[in-house]
Amino acid sequence: MRIVVLVGVPGSGKSTYLERLGAPALSSDRIRGLLADDETDQTIHDRVFQTVRYLLRQRLEIGRPVTYIDATNLTIEDRRPYLEMGRAHGCDVEAVFFDVPLEACRERNARRRRVVPEEALAKMAAKLTPPSVEEGFARVTVISD
C-alpha cells in the first residue's frame, strides 16, 4: 500500500496531475464542498482534515493499494499525520512536489473557476517547505513547470 501526498501552492497543478493520471484522491476542497456546500469555506479547516485522515484510515484498513492526498500540504506539520499513518499501517508514503514558480501559479489561479485571493496565495507560497526523504518520505518526485 502507498500514500501519495501532493505538495504545492494553489495553481501549481496538483488536481490537473491527478486528472491526467485518472487517479481518485482524497481532496480537501471536495471534502469542504461535501461538508459545507462550499469548497472555499476555510472556517471548517480542522474538520476537513479530520475527515481526510478518517477516510485515509478507512482506505488503509480495507487494503486499498494507493491513496492520493490532494491538498496543499505546505509544511512538515501538515504532512506529518500521513507519514505517521503510513508507518502505523506499514506502507510507503511518497510525496509529489509541484515546484512551480509563483508567477505561473498566479496566472493559472486567475483562470480557475475558484480563484484563491492573491494575498492568500502569497502567504501560502511563503509558508511552503519542500518535502524531503529526510522528513520520512520513501521518495519525493519533483514536478517543475
Q: What is the pLDDT of residue 45?
A: 85
* Percent of the chain's residues with pLDDT above 70: 98
Dump pLDDT digits (tens) for 89-134: 999 999 999 999 999 999 998 888 777 888 889 999 999 999 999 9
pLDDT tops 70 at residue 41: no
Give the Å distances, CA to CA, from 125 to 13, 47, 136. Answer: 14, 23, 22
CA nearest to 142, candidates 126, 128, 129, 131: 131
Are 70 and 6 in contact by the 8 Å Cβ rule? The answer is yes
42 or 28, which is more confident? 28
Confidence of residue 84 (pLDDT cuts 50, 70, 90): very high
Which three cell numbers, joined as nine digits, stand for 93? 508514503
Q: What is the pLDDT of residue 115?
A: 79
State how far the Cα of 81 lies from the Cα of 78, in Å rounded to an integer: 7
